[in-house]
Amino acid sequence: MMVKEEKGAGGGNDIQWCFSQVKGAIDDDVAEADIISTVEFNHSGELLATGDKGGRVVIFQQEQENKIQSHSRGEYNVYSTFQSHEPEFDYLKSLEIEEKINKIRWLPQKNAAQFLLSTNDKTIKLWKISERDKRPEGYNLKEEDGRYRDPTTVTTLRVPVFRPMDLMVEASPRRIFANAHTYHINSISINSDYETYLSADDLRINLWHLEITDRSFNIVDIKPANMEELTEVITAAEFHPNSCNTFVYSSSKGTIRLCDMRASALCDRHSKLFEEPEDPSNRSFFSEIISSISDVKFSHSGRYMMTRDYLSVKIWDLNMENRPVETYQVHEYLRSKLCSLYENDCIFDKFECCWNGSDSVVMTGSYNNFFRMFDRNTKRDITLEASRENNKPRTVLKPRKVCASGKRKKDEISVDSLDFNKKILHTAWHPKENIIAVATTNNLYIFQDKVN
């Protein structure tokens, strides 16, 4: 048995995170199309979907066999790959529409097939992923290879019989929700009624019915009459996990608005406004940029929501609007580097965040392929790295530390040595188990907690 190298340094009940798998190309020459742009587990955690800049969706499925063996959980293997979106050209505006997948959201499973929504900047698609493990054999008019038989040779009639075949996973687009967004879609969120969903772009939020593609309802519109007065955009939106009339949306000014669709058809007036007053001692030219919220996620319980801005993660109690109940600093050492980060545009990076299944730990990414976890109960945090150096399965990840100033201790990394090209923007946590998926630029890492 492996000797514990670090004493209880894990986030969340002394979890020790181990490398499990890495997906994607090994070489450092990253093809633009392979850049991962979204990661999402389905509701059971059995499936893990990724979307990339090339418009492709890759779905991994967890093996079930190894559950009996206690030393590891099932591995994730490729289940289905398909081209979700293609590059398009808007002839009216002479603009190319990027095929990059911005978000994937799974529908809860209702039958044998799986459904997910995937979106690029302009169009949302509902995909059905189904398995086929049988095929009909013994057609009357066709040969097995598909060629039509000579009709004169058909002398008897027979009923085709289903015979087993190698498993084939098919993805087919069932709905295409298009032409409803002038601006770039940043979020999609499925309602708890499982019949409707919202899509949000920079200035508007629309409500759709999953069955209806030719119309949607605009529920939020913050576009000013005069575009020159535009000072704020929508950055993320999500439906409440239990309350089907409630959703939130965040803005580039660091505010979150909670809206109730029962109040009016157009939810331009919020029911609640969550905003933390600015700390005057931290004021700078970049205050607004770093307050811009890049992600908002409700807790599974629905009682809290989490927001990610450039330097921190904040947990809000839905009953308290004037300040968050918890704030976690992700990389405070960057505060003195904001000018350089503004210069190289890193200050505009949009990091996502996620909850674990029990809402006790939250996770988010950082630079240098570091990602951070914060345990809400113990108040302990940990920094880990997604790197090919820790590639052996069941290798316990060593906690990392950034030295902000002063003398750098052994094993610490100084701020100036951080690689700002290696950013972890997308992370996901299995809904039930301690399995996490962390996306570097073009690789997907899967880590699990150590099972003794």
Partner 1 sequence: MMLSKGLKRKREDELEKETLAVDAWWLGPRPPAVAQAPPAVASSSLFDLSVLKLHHSLRQSEPDLRHLVLVVNTLRRIQASMAPEAPLSPVPSPPPAPGAAADSLLASSDAALSASMASLLEDLSHIEGLSQAPQPLVDEGPPGRPTSGAPPSLGALDLLGPATGCLLDDELEGLFEDIDTSMYDSELWAPASEGVKPGPEAGPGKEETLELDEAELDYLLDVLVGTQALERPPGPGR
User: If binding is defined by CB under 8 A, does position 339 make contact with partner 1?
Assistant: yes
3-state secondary structure of 52: strand
User: If binding is defined by CB under 8 A, does position 28 make contact with partner 1?
Assistant: no
Footprint on residues 217-246 left by partner 1 (CB under 8 A): 217-218, 221, 225-233, 235
Query: How near is the Cβ of 232 to partner 1 at its closest, in Å?
Result: 7
How many residues sit in the footprint of partner 1 (CB under 8 A)? 63
| Candidate ranges 19-27, 192-200, 343-351, 376-384; the one touching partner 1 (CB under 8 A) | 343-351
- Phi and psi torsions of 440, nearest 5°: -90, -165
Query: How near is the Cβ of 277 to partner 1 at its closest, in Å?
Result: 7
User: If binding is defined by CB under 8 A, does position 176 make contact with partner 1?
Assistant: no
| Candidate ranges 18-26, 374-382, 395-403, 409-417; the one touching partner 1 (CB under 8 A) | 409-417
Query: How near is the Cβ of 96 to partner 1 at its closest, in Å?
Result: 7
User: If binding is defined by CB under 8 A, does position 253 make contact with partner 1?
Assistant: yes
Query: How near is the Cβ of 32 to partner 1 at its closest, in Å?
Result: 14
Query: How near is the Cβ of 337 to partner 1 at its closest, in Å?
Result: 7
Instruction: Compute CA distances 28 → 24, 165, 292, 331, 443, whole Å.
Output: 11, 39, 31, 25, 10
**C-beta of 95 vs 165, nearer to partner 1:** 95
**C-beta of 49 vs 210, nearer to partner 1:** 210
Query: How near is the Cβ of 295 to partner 1 at its closest, in Å?
Result: 13
How many Å apart are CA 237 and CA 294, to the nearest integer? Answer: 10
**C-beta of 331 vs 376, nearer to partner 1:** 331
Site track for partner 1 across 278-297, x = CB under 8 A: x--x-xxxxxxx--x-----
- Phi and psi torsions of 34, nearest 5°: -90, 0
Measured from the Cβ of residue 1, the count of other Cβ atoms closer than 10 Å reads 4
How long a stretch of residues is the chain?
452
CB 419 within 8 A of CB 361: no
Footprint on residues 71-130 left by partner 1 (CB under 8 A): 92-96
- Phi and psi torsions of 388, nearest 5°: -70, -10
User: If binding is defined by CB under 8 A, does position 69 make contact with partner 1?
Assistant: no
Query: How near is the Cβ of 271 to partner 1 at its closest, in Å?
Result: 18
How many Å apart are CA 221 and CA 267, to the nearest integer? Answer: 8
How many Å apart are CA 68 and CA 73, to the nearest integer? Answer: 9
**C-beta of 40 vs 201, nearer to partner 1:** 201
Cα 151 → chain centroid: 54
Strands 381-385 and 370-375 come out as antiparallel
Query: How near is the Cβ of 157 to partner 1 at its closest, in Å?
Result: 52
How many Å apart are CA 76 and CA 444, to the nearest integer? Answer: 11
| Candidate ranges 211-219, 239-247, 379-387, 395-403; the one touching partner 1 (CB under 8 A) | 211-219
By CB under 8 A, name the one of 30, 113, 342, 431 that touches partner 1: 342
3-state secondary structure of 273: strand
User: If binding is defined by CB under 8 A, does position 203 make contact with partner 1?
Assistant: yes
**C-beta of 146 vs 280, nearer to partner 1:** 280
Q: Can you spell out the DSSP letters for 375-388?
A: ETTT--EEEEE--G
How many Å apart are CA 103 and CA 23, to the nearest integer? Answer: 19
| Candidate ranges 12-20, 198-206, 297-305, 355-363; the one touching partner 1 (CB under 8 A) | 198-206
Structure tokens that stand for 129 in this block:
């992923």
How many Å apart are CA 140 and CA 159, to the nearest integer? Answer: 8
Give the CA diameter of the chain.
91
By CB under 8 A, name the one of 66, 140, 242, 344 that touches partner 1: 344
| Candidate ranges 73-81, 146-154, 261-269, 324-332; the one touching partner 1 (CB under 8 A) | 261-269
Q: Which of 255, 258, 352 minimizes the C-alpha distance to 302? A: 258
Which segments of 190-309 does DSSP mark as H helices, in order? 287-291
The residue type found at 358 is S
Strands 401-403 and 412-414 come out as parallel
By CB under 8 A, name the one of 40, 202, 381, 385 that touches partner 1: 202
What does the binding site for partner 1 look like in residue numbers (CB under 8 A)? Answer: 92-96, 179-184, 202-203, 206, 215-218, 221, 225-233, 235, 252-253, 265-266, 268, 277-278, 281, 283-289, 292, 335-340, 342-346, 348, 415-418, 420-421
